[in-house]
Amino acid sequence: MRNTANKDMTKKVKTVEELFLCECGDTSDQVIMRWFDDQDDKCPNVYVSFFLRKNPLWKRIKLGIQYIFGKRSKYGEFGEVILKPEDYEKMQKVTDFLKKSYDAIEKKET
């Protein structure tokens, strides 16, 4: 039987990734930004991934129980990555993609 799948679905999608490592040098402090470069009007999103630190088993259980009973820090839970000045080119690529996606969507709507 012949495959009648849409050719767009079988087309290889170009994925672009940019890695940002923290100024502090700790490799667990990193952010990865990923997007599909040739899909700016179909998938205009940038996916941001970051590392979540592991805690020992008992600390995770303790935190889980506290979470179940509603105990929260009044400041929330935060992590941080300090971007270096050299990262501006990578960040510019992300910004350029988002701008291109925005323009493509705006053009379709008008």
Question: Is the CB of residue 14 less than 8 Å from the CB of residue 43?
Answer: no
Q: Is residue 79 part of a domain?
A: yes
Q: Following DSSP, what letter does each residue of 62-83 receive, concatenated?
A: HHHHHHHTT---TT--------
Residue of 82, 66, 65, 76 whose CA lies nearest to 21: 82
Q: Is residue 98 part of a domain?
A: no
Give the mean pLDDT of 12-32. Answer: 84
Instruction: Give 36-52 pLDDT, tens digit per residue.
Output: 877 656 777 888 888 76
How does the average pLDDT of the chain come out, rounded? Answer: 79
Its pTM stands at: 0.61
pLDDT grade, residue 9 (50/70/90)? low
Give the mean pLDDT of 21-38. Answer: 84
How many residues would you count in the chain? 110
pLDDT grade, residue 15 (50/70/90)? confident
State the virtual CA torsion across 65, 28, 23, 87 in degrees, nearest 10: -110
The pLDDT of residue 92 is above 90 = yes
Question: Is the CB of residue 90 less than 8 Å from the CB of residue 20?
Answer: yes
Produce one character per residue of 42-62: b if its CB has 16 or more CB atoms within 10 Å, e if not: eebebeeeeeeeeeeeeeeee
Structural domain count, the chain: 1
User: 20 lies in which domain range?
Assistant: 14-85
Q: Is residue 81 part of a domain?
A: yes
Instruction: Give 71-87 pLDDT, tens digit per residue.
Output: 777 666 666 788 899 99
